[in-house]
Amino acid sequence: MNRQKAPARANLVLAVLFAGAFAMGCAEMLVIGMLDLIATDLQVSVPAAGTLVTANALGLALGGPLLTFLTTRFDRRHVLIAAATVFVLANLLPAFAADYQLFVAARVLIGAVQGLFIAAGIVTATSVVPPERAGRAMAIVITGFAMASALGLPLGTLLGQAVGWRGSFVAVVVAGVVVLAAAVLVLPSLPTSRSSRAFGQARSAFAPGVLAVLGVGFLVFAAIQSALTYLVPFLGEVTGVWGAAVSPFLLAYGVATAVGSYAGGRFADTSAPRPWSSAVSE
């Protein structure tokens, strides 16, 4: 009976992690789809509004690893719930009250807890499935962010066009509250072993092969975000595509990202060698 329940419980945990990643990905991507609206409302230039994307990226790239390092000794369940709570509270600022400076600060914090959620979510996802499904479990979390590009970004852009950009962030807050409630009810306790704590992970993180992969990832995502950030103004000024007509372009990008993310997870489980696994465990 327990064996029958285990896969169902694992799928439920993965669903919550997917939903959390989706909500956080929507918060990250929404600014891109409403850059012109935000710039007009906050009375700043479009390049200045683009700083909101940079702020989120800096929070994710710098604050995420730092928070992960500082929280490695805590139960992953508690870390995920704390990250979801801070995410909801931080998104209340752009939803209701933030001026430009406060919005930038909130974006840094949102990016940092997003990075923390990714790290803790991947650890949790791989812990509730058999080793042969670890790649797909990680892909589910990552695909949550990809689906934010596929669905959250175009739908959020349409909502922003209809009710204003702050209305889209209200929807993100509501989604975050739902995810937080589900996390409290569903996520299992997952204490961190001594070998997996901060300094043990640091030794693996600074291995040359890991740094090389991180460097490639940095360049790829920097290039993608640099182009994607100003896609909406580009479409309007160069091709004459404005408003709701932008959504199909954003949808096409998001669908391609989601398909690639999930396919990558399946490839990791079936084709990718794992010579690093024994080295990391030593």
The pLDDT value given to residue 202: 60
For residue 50, give both structure tokens: 């683009």
Class of domain 2-277: mainly alpha
| Size of the chain in residues | 282
pTM reported for the whole predicted model: 0.77
> What sections of 34-99 are H helices per DSSP?
35-42, 46-58, 64-70, 76-92
pLDDT at 212: 80
* Tokens representing residue 261 in the block: 């993310």
CA-to-CA dists, residue 242 to 36, 120, 239, 251, angstroms: 10, 38, 9, 15
CA distance 142 to 251: 17
Tokens 């489980």 map to which residue?
269
- Confidence at residue 197, expressed as pLDDT on a 0 to 100 scale: 56
Domain ranges of the chain: 2-277
pLDDT of residue 33: 79
CA–CA distance, 13 with 9 (Å, rounded to integer) = 6
Residue 94 CB coordination number (10 Å): 27
pLDDT tens, the chain, 282 aa long: 344 457 788 899 999 999 999 999 999 888 887 888 899 999 999 889 889 988 998 998 889 889 988 898 899 999 999 999 999 999 999 888 778 999 999 999 999 999 999 999 999 999 999 888 888 888 888 888 878 877 777 788 788 888 889 999 999 999 999 999 999 999 999 887 665 555 556 666 667 776 787 677 777 777 776 777 677 777 777 777 776 677 677 777 777 777 776 676 666 666 555 444 443 333
